Amino acid sequence: MKMSGRCAATVLACAVGIGIEAAAVSGVLAQDASFLPRFPILLSELTAPAIDRGIHEFDPVRAPRTEGTTLQIAADGEPFLRGSIIVKFRPGTSPDAQRAMLSQVNGALTPPLSYANFDIVSIPDTADPEATARRLEAQPDVDYAQARYRIYPQFVPNDPMYARQWNYPALDMERAWDINPGATASVTVAVLDSGVAYRPALMRYNARFPFRATPGGPVLPALGLIDVPFAAAPDLGGADRFVAPRDFIWETTTPMDLDGHGTHVAGTIGQLTNNSIGVAGMAFNVRLMPVKVIAGDWDFILGSPLQGTDDVVARGVRYAVDNGAQVLNMSIGRTGPPAPVVQEAITYAVSRGAFVVVAAGNEFEIGNPVERLAEFAPLIQGMVAVAAIGRDRRRAFYSNTGPYIELAAPGGNMRAGGSEGGILQQTYDFDFVDTFLGSAAQYRAPRFDVFAYQYFQGTSMAAPHVSGFAALLIQQGITKPAAIEAAMTRYATDLGAAGRDNEFGHGLINPRASLRGLGLAK
């Protein structure tokens, strides 16, 4: 793969250009973003009401979506971005010394980023980001250097209400809610994900590039200027539920979900409950902070300036905790080499009093590689890595195993339990979103104002159970991250081998027991 020389002049334009060229659409060059209107453009904050199309349980099975199969990966085949790396210099390193070190790798600092204690260094497109990072990391004044690895949602979607939500009875949530009925608005849970369907809007995008959605599939044309309707997910509640929204993919304050993953995850954390509508959520009174740090397929198609890479996630983590989030849900992840920039950000978040929940990964059947965003959970008291179980209380077929697994929660297993073995939540009706999966003739602008109840499975679905649980514990009085983790692990229901094990960690979360805490004698 190669990059245009023009693209190398700007990191943002490069991020777009890499994928488009590699989509095997010859002749398309990356464009300099500075010559274009900045998209998306908010056309209207008022749109038609959201459309709820009910439950989707008999839709055809969709291709599993694990790491490496999103459009971005289909485009360039690499798990990281080229043309730039992440570097953290030791405090006190002079600018001259920084420049001298960077000159050895033909690198240059880019403008400072918000919510980042690291730098993005541009490097030649032809340079191997990993090798370049290793060379810099060998310098005494460099804390760490790493490639900008892409990060993905941790679920395996399968297209298709409370009686269908086996996951809550499995956690004895009815009795847990007797003790703590869904926390209160004093607790904020950040959803670091693909965004959330949290508000209505009519947005104008410029889909500038033709692309191929699947290897060997038809080249889909550039749609040009398109007006895309958004609506708030009806069962997530009104605007007062959402605080400090932020989009680190489009660098805006409107983290619209162009994917559906974040909306589904947010539902498990805080879907309105006992409202005679749809389904339930774990902590149904909390405030939600949508922080968009990963890009969905439509973000890619519409030319988002950034992708979900380690540095973007690290900034999102810092943003969330600096803006008052007490719980951070990260149903995202990646494999590959370690991610020190994310580890440092999570360490910072926990030191500021936030509890961090990370999905343990869905790659068990494809080699069970180490999930890099979850692996440091045992090192940070106040962060947990969550494995997934199915309705049968066995490890889900996809759920990673390893020494970093600390807890298990329902993530769904449709292989063992059919479609109803997944986790049901409201998100988009993908008939109106995944228009790029059909023929070129069917390809059209998406609609993000049509909703359905969908079964998903993945550690992405397990993690928000733990995040909602953390919110309940905070409301109940256990406010320190390390104590929250201790309350969770202490009362977890042991599954698998006796004691802590690599499949379930300390076991299945037991919210009621943790919320009850200790009596004098029992």
Partner 1 sequence: MAATTASAQTRDFMVRGFGDVGSTTFTAAEQSFAAVLGSATGMVFGGGVEVVLPVRVFANVRASRFQETGQRVFLFEGEQFDLGIPTTITVTPVQLTGGYRFGASDRFVPYGGAGVGWYGFKEASQFSTDAENVDNRFTGFHILGGAEIGLRRWLALAGELQWSTVPDAFGDNPNSVSHEFNESNLGGTTFRFKIVVGM
**Residues at the contact surface with partner 1, assessed by CB under 8 A:** 175, 178-179, 476-480, 482-483, 486-487, 490-491, 513-522
Nearer to partner 1, 320 or 488 (CB): 488
The structure tokens listed for 27 are 């002749």
Shortest Cβ 183–partner 1 spacing (Å): 13
DSSP symbols for 9-34: G-HHHHHHHHHHHHTT-TT-----GG
Using alpha carbons, list the distances in angstroms from residue 284 to 185, 317, 422, 484: 9, 22, 20, 19
CA distance 426 to 160: 12
Shortest Cβ 514–partner 1 spacing (Å): 8
Residues in the chain: 522
Is the separation of the CB atoms in 487 and 386 below 8 Å?
Answer: no
Classify 387 as helix, strand or coil.
Answer: strand
Nearer to partner 1, 33 or 515 (CB): 515
Shortest Cβ 432–partner 1 spacing (Å): 44
Nearer to partner 1, 181 or 217 (CB): 181
CA distance 418 to 437: 23
Nearer to partner 1, 366 or 482 (CB): 482
B/e letters for 322-353, b = 16+ CB within 10 Å, e = fewer, are ebebbbbbbbbbbbbbbbbbbbbbbbbbbeee
CA distance 369 to 402: 9
Classify 234 as helix, strand or coil.
Answer: helix
Nearer to partner 1, 91 or 522 (CB): 522
Nearer to partner 1, 226 or 486 (CB): 486
Nearer to partner 1, 22 or 488 (CB): 488
Shortest Cβ 76–partner 1 spacing (Å): 47
Pair type for strands 246-247 and 287-292 = parallel
CA distance 464 to 331: 7
Is the separation of the CB atoms in 14 and 5 below 8 Å?
Answer: no
Nearer to partner 1, 499 or 519 (CB): 519
Is the separation of the CB atoms in 155 and 331 below 8 Å?
Answer: yes
What 8-state DSSP symbol labels residue 395? Answer: B
Three-state secondary structure of 185-223: CCCEEEEEECCCCCCCEEEEEEECCCEECCCCCCEECCC
CA distance 174 to 166: 12
Cβ neighbours, 10 Å, residue 75: 22
Shortest Cβ 414–partner 1 spacing (Å): 34
Shortest Cβ 496–partner 1 spacing (Å): 20
Shortest Cβ 189–partner 1 spacing (Å): 19
Nearer to partner 1, 223 or 515 (CB): 515
Nearer to partner 1, 444 or 490 (CB): 490
Nearer to partner 1, 174 or 227 (CB): 174
Query: How many CA within 13 A on the CB side of residue 274?
Result: 9
Q: Which residues contact 90 (CB under 8 A, 6 or more apart)?
A: 140, 141, 142, 143
Among candidate residues 448, 503, 507, 520, the one with its CA nearest the CA of residue 260: 448
Shortest Cβ 515–partner 1 spacing (Å): 7
Nearer to partner 1, 47 or 475 (CB): 475
Is the separation of the CB atoms in 62 and 422 below 8 Å?
Answer: no
Nearer to partner 1, 384 or 487 (CB): 487
Shortest Cβ 512–partner 1 spacing (Å): 8
CA distance 58 to 246: 35
Shortest Cβ 470–partner 1 spacing (Å): 13
DSSP symbols for 143-197: EEEEEEEB-EE--EE----GGG-THHHHTTHHHHHHHSSS--TT-EEEEEES---
